[in-house]
Chains A and B, each alone.
Chain A
Amino acid sequence: MAKMIKLVSGDGAEFEVEEEVAFQSKIIKDIVADADDVIPLPTVSSKVLIQVIEYCRKHAAVNSFPLSPSSSAAAAASSSSSISYSKPVSDPALRAWDNEFVKLNNSSLFDIVIAANYLDIEELVDLVLETVADRIKGKQAQEIRRQFNIENDFTPEEEEALRRENSWAFQNN
């Protein structure tokens, strides 16, 4: 019988999940090591927790039977930055599932990545951030501002200074 962990969302909902699913979160893995089976997550709403658990459940099943080097091995091999840029998900079916999973509006994606960052679920963080990057790539500044509701909070002087500071990027050799 698989060991169960109880996760409690900020709005009081309780979720019982298998240990290997919960352990997709490094934080939870560490906490449970100290013999604590009920884990309150006051900053995560049940709506977001459900989505995160869904991701973890799918990826726990795949990680149990790795066909290719697991993400943790790839992450260990990567550089000093805490977020890995290696692409651990080489299974096309899983990639397809991930791509469906992230078909959410920006606000929902941000909620998920904040929770995943808090829970230290590296692959989920990478997945969402890459999705956000894809939504920014190739777009004009105006459109990015509109889509992500970004306010221009620069003074004209700051804008000019920034233009000069980054002019090297726009020059040719």
Chain B
Amino acid sequence: MGAGVSSVVRLEGEAGGIPTGLGDLPENCVAAVLAYLEPLEICRVARLSRTFRGAASADLVWETKLPRNHRNLLALVSDEKNPNKKSRLCKKEIYARLCRPVPFDGGTKEFWLERISGGICMAISSRALLITGIDDRRYWNYLTTEESRFHSVAYLHQTWWFEVDGEIKFCFPAGSYSLFFRLHLGRATKRLGRRICITEHIHGWDIEPVRFQMATSDGQFARSKCYLDKIGSWILYHAGDFVVNNSDVPTNLKFSMKQIDCTHTKGGLCVDSVFIYPTGFREGKVFATDLMT
């Protein structure tokens, strides 16, 4: 029944005895206490004593931190050559692995568990997006840069028809998510070790706003528009939010941004990636796009 060892010798609460300590609790109780703490704090208190270290590794603790569909997510992790090793990971090890980015779809996308909210974050690189005219070097080319987690961004010189489409089918853990496009007006480069922004191609964004759109297969829909005007920094443009109710059913998400008014050209824009974050986690340098009625 899980009574402490010392209770055989003396009664709990006996006056005049040694006060009952944390070490007298059965390990499942200590683990249950730790389960109420955040992952970071659990790892901190693991350093207090051997009892805490043991309790901090208990499956009981990490089971509550993992998303319900963590087995599906773990299946996408391919860095273990030995598939048997993956099935023998304890819950804490699974949690630790999912906290590091997990690449998939040939490395053009990656997801990771966000430690504080416990939700999934995802980054979809420009290589995984459908960019109109991307193959035409008069309009677009790829730049190598350390400012993208994929080390490369798509740079637009100029075009009449600016359209970027994307799609993702993924088993997101249940929750509310926000989708962003990470964009940069101007081209960043290094001169004499300092970051400078080349603005020569920037034009056409002040005439008409860029229109963002997002839709899920279960009928959720968001539309918004925003003028791009912040030069020289990476901005997360918020395209919309979606809600996932069932983590066992894949969510099919389509999203796009367009500026297809062909009366004028536009250019000088870097397109890095699309990001999906648990709602509220990343506000950052976001311009709330005007919702269209």
Please list the residues of chain A having a beta carbon within 8 angstroms of any beta carbon in chain B. Answer: 10-11, 27, 43-45, 47-48, 79-83, 85, 105-108, 110-111, 113-115, 117-120, 125-126, 129-130, 132-134, 136-138, 141, 144-145, 148-154, 159, 162-163, 166, 168-170, 173
Contacts and interface: CB of A to CB of B under 8 A. Distances in A.
- Most chain A CB within a 10 A radius of its CB, from B13, B14, B33, B115: B13
Given A107-B21, A136-B33, A170 B43 contact: yes
A130 B33 CA distance: 6
Given A117-B1, A117-B3, A173-B121, A154 B50 contact: yes
A141 B13 contact: no
8 contacts: A47-B15, A83-B32, A114-B4, A118-B3, A132-B33, A150-B23, A150-B51, A154-B53
B2 A118 contact: yes
B48 interface: yes
Contacts, number: 151
8 A-B pairs with least C-beta separation: A133-B36, A107-B19, A111-B12, A45-B11, A169-B43, A166-B43, A110-B20, A111-B13
Nearest to B53: A162
Contacts of B1: 27, 117-120
A45 B101 CA distance: 52
B25 interface: yes
- Most chain B CB within a 10 A radius of its CB, from A113, A119, A144: A113
B36 A129 contact: yes
B39 interface: yes
Contacts of B99: 168-169, 173
Given A43-B11, A133-B37, A110 B49 contact: no
Contacts of A163: 47
A118 B44 CA distance: 29
Interface of B: 1-4, 7-8, 11-15, 19-26, 28-29, 32-37, 39-53, 60, 63-64, 96, 99-101, 112, 114-115, 121
Contacts of B45: 136, 141, 144
Nearest to B6: A114
A83 to B, nearest CB: 5
A38 to B, nearest CB: 19
B48 A48 contact: no
A117 B3 CA distance: 7
A110 B45 CA distance: 18
A120 B8 CA distance: 18
A153 B54 CA distance: 13
Contact of A137 (B19, B21, B37): B37
B49 A111 contact: no
A116 B21 CA distance: 16
A81 B51 CA distance: 20
Contacts of A149: 19, 21-22
- Most chain A CB within a 10 A radius of its CB, from B29, B32, B39: B32
A10 B39 CA distance: 39
B180 to A, nearest CB: 15
Nearest to B60: A81
Contacts of A125: 29, 32
A125 to B, nearest CB: 7
B96 to A, nearest CB: 5
A173 B112 contact: yes
Given A10-B11, A11-B11, A141 B36 contact: no
- Most chain B CB within a 10 A radius of its CB, from A79, A118, A119: A118
